[in-house]
């Protein structure tokens, strides 16, 4: 036996409770006893018993009254009712009041001990459930405010307000760092499911073979390493919202299984024949072009239409006029200030990594800054340099390779103020070769 059970016997049959007490104490449990219902209630309010074993027909108080008052004085204590004459009505009534079990005398002591152990298990699970809820509530991410008043952000805000309460599947598309997860949180917060926690799976963060078990769960022994049964995130999110991030990375083989849950809410854990039903709203996000994924056979068309009932496109930061300034003010704290050059460089930069990159840049600058004064030298090279890095140019270049080469050399030369040694180094070529190219393209410098 692991932990001794703390028991209270309440029965007016003194020989009976003494007999029970001796038996339970011999087994190592701790037993209190009383012949009075009122005294039982008082003891219960002062002491945290694991279980109370109660006679239904005590003089003075009716069984119902006694159970009610006992549960009021300590709602966590489990009650097991014992009675000489068990009627169905009494049994039903006591169960309605939350009594764990209803037993008629006589009974075997071993049976009663097993019922007590089961009652304690229920009490433990209830307590664990409360603790987990508390942890979830405390850990629930404080919804980050979405900063931005640009036209695209206003449009997005209006769409979120419309879409959130509908319970429809939503596909959020946008470049990395544009705030897709934040949008998913806003949709969940604006839905009727917001009381429950938002459950998240990032398909790109898990090896392919684990995604299925994570989403749909598995039975014990269903594959090597499945040492215990595990419910999947669909079951965890039952009644709530499941945010599937990077859905474009979902393995093709798993897509029919996801389609099925979306169609009728049914799923099977790996290794199980049992069909389970869940009620989950799906919000998915991707930074891939899903139409291309479908066209190139990497994503099922039917699934694409299922998750794309409502599509939200997040604009990149460079298209949100005026939002960079707002974000800068939001991210900087009162102990840090930006000088004009630094501010100008930050506003002018095109932010291929979007808001995440902006946040990281400022976090770094705050660490480097002297006395909280951020200057241009605290910013990374690519932000400091007024020239747009070619790799980050968002607009595709449709000219010939020769024109591109020519433009690029001219831009690098200009950035290096005509210094050919530096320009050659930046281009990764020999100085002699640079000269030849300047001549070939007739670049003036
Ligand atoms: N409008 C906004 N206002 C304030 N902070 C924002 C905004 N949008 C995004 N952020 C912040 O930027 C960071 C990146 O956002 P998020 O993780 O939602 O981007 P994402 O599009 O999901 O990125 P990825 O595709 O790489 O997963 C987070 O710290 C988030 O809080």
pLDDT of residue 389: 45
Shared domain for 96 and 203, answered yes or no, is no
Shared domain for 69 and 51, answered yes or no, is yes
| Cα 178 to middle of ligand 1, angstroms | 5
Distance CA 328, CA 338 (A): 9
pLDDT of residue 390: 47
* The two three-digit tokens of residue 40, written as one number: 């039982």
Which residue lies with its CA nearest to atom 26 of ligand 1?
Answer: 176
| Final residue in a domain of this structure, among 313, 341, 361 | 313
Shared domain for 130 and 155, answered yes or no, is no
Distance CA 17, CA 11 (A): 7
| Cα 286 to middle of ligand 1, angstroms | 13
| Cα 308 to middle of ligand 1, angstroms | 21
| Cα 182 to middle of ligand 1, angstroms | 6
Residues within 6 Å of ligand 1 by CB: 144, 146-148, 174, 176-182, 245, 285, 287, 355-356, 359
Atom of ligand 1 nearest to the CA of 184: 18
| Final residue in a domain of this structure, among 386, 404, 419 | 386
Shared domain for 160 and 307, answered yes or no, is yes
**Mind listing the pLDDT tens digit of every residue in the chain (445 residues)?**
567 899 999 999 999 999 999 999 999 999 999 999 999 999 988 888 999 999 988 888 888 899 999 888 888 889 999 887 767 888 888 888 889 998 888 889 999 999 999 999 998 898 888 878 777 766 666 667 899 999 999 999 999 999 999 999 999 999 989 999 999 999 999 999 998 889 999 998 888 888 999 999 999 888 888 888 889 999 999 999 999 999 999 999 999 999 999 999 999 999 988 889 999 999 999 998 999 999 999 999 999 999 999 999 999 999 998 999 999 999 998 889 999 999 999 999 999 899 999 999 999 999 999 888 999 999 998 898 755 444 444 444 455 677 778 878 888 887 777 778 788 888 888 777 788 788 877 776 6
pLDDT of residue 88: 82
**Per-residue CA distances from 54 to 125, 130, 220, 256, 407 (Å):** 22, 26, 39, 55, 91
User: Which structural domain range is residue 400 located in?
Assistant: 396-441
pLDDT of residue 2: 65
Which of 147, 157, 179, 354 has the most ligand 1 atoms within 8 A of CB, as the residue to mutate?
A: 179
Shared domain for 205 and 187, answered yes or no, is yes
387: alpha, beta or left? (left if phi > 0; alpha if psi -120 to 50): beta
**Per-residue CA distances from 416 to 203, 277, 390, 407 (Å):** 43, 64, 15, 14
CATH of residue 363: 1.10.8.60
C-beta of residue 241 within 8 angstroms of C-beta of residue 198: yes
C-beta of residue 235 within 8 angstroms of C-beta of residue 279: no
Which residue lies with its CA nearest to atom 8 of ligand 1?
Answer: 179
Q: Domain for residue 391, yes or no?
A: no
pLDDT of residue 189: 93
Q: Domain for residue 144, yes or no?
A: no
Distance CA 64, CA 67 (A): 5
Shared domain for 293 and 211, answered yes or no, is yes
**Nearest partner of 235 among 209, 216, 254, 219, judged by Cα:** 216
pLDDT of residue 93: 84
**Nearest partner of 411 among 313, 397, 203, judged by Cα:** 397
**Per-residue CA distances from 273 to 215, 222, 307 (Å):** 16, 12, 26
Which residue lies with its CA nearest to atom 16 of ligand 1?
Answer: 179
Which residue lies with its CA nearest to atom 24 of ligand 1?
Answer: 176
HSE-up (13 A, CA, CB side) for residue 158: 6
As beta bridge partners, residue 202 has 245
pLDDT of residue 411: 83
Element (H, E) at 398: none
């Amino acid at each position: 036996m692991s932990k001794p059970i703390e028991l209270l016997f309440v029965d007016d049959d003194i020989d009976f409770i003494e007999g029970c007490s001796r038996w339970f104490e011999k087994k190592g449990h701790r037993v209190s006893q009383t012949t009075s219902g009122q005294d039982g209630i008082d003891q219960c309010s002062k002491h945290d018993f694991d279980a109370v074993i109660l006679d239904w027909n005590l003089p003075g108080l009716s069984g119902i009254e006694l159970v009610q008052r006992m549960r009021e004085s300590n709602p966590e204590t489990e009650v097991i009712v014992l009675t000489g004459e068990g009627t169905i009505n009494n049994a039903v009534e006591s169960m309605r009041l939350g009594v764990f079990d209803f037993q008629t005398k006589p009974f075997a002591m071993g049976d009663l001990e097993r019922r007590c152990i089961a009652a304690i298990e229920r009490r433990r699970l209830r307590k664990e459930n409360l603790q987990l809820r508390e942890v979830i509530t405390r850990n629930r991410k404080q919804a980050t405010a979405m900063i931005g008043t640009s036209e695209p952000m206003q449009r997005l805000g209006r769409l979120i307000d419309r879409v959130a309460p509908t319970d429809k599947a939503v596909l959020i598309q946008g470049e990395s760092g544009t705030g897709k997860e934040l949008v998913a949180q806003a949709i969940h917060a604006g839905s009727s499911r917001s009381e429950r926690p938002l459950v998240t799976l990032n398909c790109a963060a898990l090896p392919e073979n684990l995604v299925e078990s994570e989403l749909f769960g598995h039975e014990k022994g269903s594959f090597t390493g499945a040492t215990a049964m595990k419910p999947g995130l669909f079951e965890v999110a039952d009644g709530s919202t499941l945010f599937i991030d990077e859905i474009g990375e979902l393995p093709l083989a798993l897509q029919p299984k996801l389609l099925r849950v979306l169609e009728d809410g049914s799923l099977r854990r790996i290794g199980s024949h049992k069909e389970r039903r869940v009620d989950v709203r799906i919000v998915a996000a991707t930074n891939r072009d899903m139409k291309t994924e479908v066209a190139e056979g990497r994503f099922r068309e039917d699934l694409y239409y299922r998750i794309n009932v409502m599509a939200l496109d997040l604009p990149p930061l460079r298209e949100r006029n005026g939002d960079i300034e707002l974000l800068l003010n939001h991210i900087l704290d009162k102990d840090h200030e930006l000088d004009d050059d630094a501010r100008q460089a930050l506003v002018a930069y095109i932010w291929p990594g979007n808001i995440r990159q902006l946040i990281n840049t400022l976090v770094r600058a705050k660490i480097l800054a002297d006395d909280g004064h951020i200057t241009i030298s605290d910013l990374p090279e690519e932000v400091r340099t007024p020239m747009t890095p070619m790799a980050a140019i968002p607009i595709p270049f449709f000219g010939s390779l020769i024109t591109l080469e020519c433009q690029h050399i001219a831009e690098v030369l200009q950035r290096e103020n005509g210094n050919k040694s530096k320009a050659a180094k930046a281009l990764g070529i020999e100085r002699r070769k640079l000269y030849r190219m300047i001549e070939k393209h007739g670049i003036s410098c």
